[in-house]
Amino acid sequence: MAPLNLTTAIYLLFTYTVGLIFVIAVVLRIYQYAVTPQPIKIMLTPAPLTKSGAFARVLGEVFFFKSLFKSNKATWVFGYLFHISFFLLIFMHFLRHFIYANPLPWWYNIFVGIGIVCGIVMVLSLFLLLMRRVVIERVKFISLFQDYLILILLMLIGLAGLSLNYVLTPAALTVVDNQLDPYMNGLLTFQFTNIPSNPVFLIHYTLVMLLILYIPFSKVMHFVGIFFSPTRNMADNPIEERYYRPNAKDLSI
Partner 1 sequence: MAKPKNKYKVPVLDGKISIPKIVPGASAYEHMIEAQKDDMEALGFPFKLQDGWKDKALGVFKEILDHNKAVRDYMDICVRCGACTDKCQFFLGTADPNNMPVQRQELMRKVYRYYFTPSGFFKSLSNAQELTEEVLKEWYTYFWQCSECRRCSLYCPYGIDTAEITMAARQIMDSIGLGQKYTTEVIHKVFKTGNNIGIPPAALRNTLDDLEEEIEEEGGKGVKIPMDVEGAEVLLVPPSADFFAMPHMESLKGYAKVFHKAGISYTVSSYASEAGNFGKFIGSYQNTKEINKRIWDEARRLKVKRVIIGECGHAWRAAYMYSNTMNGPFDFLDSKYKQPTHICDFTLGLVKDGVIKLDPSANDDKVVTFHDSCNVARGSRIGDVVGGQFTIPRELIKAAANKFVELREGTTKESTYCCGAGGGLLTEEVMNVRLAGSMPRMQTVKEAVDNHGVNFYALICAICKTQFTKVFPLYGLDEEMVGGIHQLVSNAIIM
Q: Does 44 bind partner 1 (CB under 8 A)?
A: yes
Binding residue (CB under 8 A) for partner 1 from 72, 185, 193, 194: 72
Rg over alpha carbons for the chain, rounded to the nearest Å, is 22
Footprint of partner 1 on residues 157-216 (CB under 8 A)?
A: none
Binding residue (CB under 8 A) for partner 1 from 12, 15, 26, 39: 39
Nearer to partner 1, 68 or 92 (CB): 68
Q: Does 236 bind partner 1 (CB under 8 A)?
A: yes
**By rule CB under 8 A, what count of residues binds partner 1?**
62
Closest among 119, 141, 133 to 204, alpha carbons compared: 119
Question: Which range, of 70-78, 102-110, 180-188, 196-204, touches partner 1 by CB under 8 A?
Answer: 70-78
Nearer to partner 1, 95 or 134 (CB): 134
Torsion of CA 128, 133, 139, 145, to 10 degrees: 140
Beta carbon of residue 141, minimum distance to partner 1 (angstroms, whole number): 5
Closest among 80, 207, 206, 91 to 149, alpha carbons compared: 207
Q: Does 239 bind partner 1 (CB under 8 A)?
A: yes
Beta carbon of residue 116, minimum distance to partner 1 (angstroms, whole number): 27
- The length of the chain in residues reads 253
Nearer to partner 1, 62 or 202 (CB): 62
Give the Cα separation of 163 and 184 in Å (integer).
20
Binding residue (CB under 8 A) for partner 1 from 18, 47, 89, 173: 47
Q: Does 147 bind partner 1 (CB under 8 A)?
A: yes
Q: Does 154 bind partner 1 (CB under 8 A)?
A: no
Q: Does 56 bind partner 1 (CB under 8 A)?
A: no
Q: Does 131 bind partner 1 (CB under 8 A)?
A: no
Question: Which range, of 60-68, 119-127, 175-183, 187-195, touches partner 1 by CB under 8 A?
Answer: 60-68
Q: Does 17 bind partner 1 (CB under 8 A)?
A: no
Give the Cα separation of 53 and 31 in Å (integer).
24
Q: Which residues bind partner 1 (CB under 8 A)?
A: 29, 32-33, 36-42, 44-49, 61, 65, 67-68, 70-72, 75, 79, 132, 136-139, 141-147, 217, 219, 221-222, 224-226, 228-232, 236, 238-239, 242-245, 247-248, 250-253
